[in-house]
């Protein structure tokens, strides 16, 4: 039970909130077919991709 609570606490940190909000915003823009300038859409999608890549590629030094 304690392990589950720790995992939930890890999900509710600032990095996770920012990453999830960026992903949801990009998905909403794509689904609604928002008429954005191509440069703005490319910039937003690149930033989202960089954040996702960092989030999944990082290592936790605590475990080592």
pLDDT tens digits for range 15-35: 778 878 888 887 887 788 777
Whether 62 maps to a domain, the answer reads no
Average pLDDT of the chain is 77
Q: With pLDDT > 70 as the criterion, what percentage of the chain qualifies?
A: 86
Whether 43 maps to a domain, the answer reads yes
Taking the model in full, what pTM does it have? 0.53
Q: Which residues of 24-37 are buried (b: 16+ CB within 10 A; e: fewer)?
A: eebeebeeeeeeee
CA 27 to chain centre: 11
- Structural domain for 35, as ranges: 2-57
Whether 27 maps to a domain, the answer reads yes
Whether 64 maps to a domain, the answer reads no
Report the number of distinct structural domains present in the chain: 1
């Amino acid at each position: 039970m304690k392990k589950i609570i720790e995992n939930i606490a890890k999900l509710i940190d600032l990095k996770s909130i920012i990453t999830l909000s960026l992903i949801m915003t990009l998905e909403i823009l794509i689904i609604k077919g928002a008429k954005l300038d191509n440069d703005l859409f490319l910039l937003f999608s690149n930033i989202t991709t960089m954040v996702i890549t960092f989030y999944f590629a990082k290592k936790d030094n605590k475990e080592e």
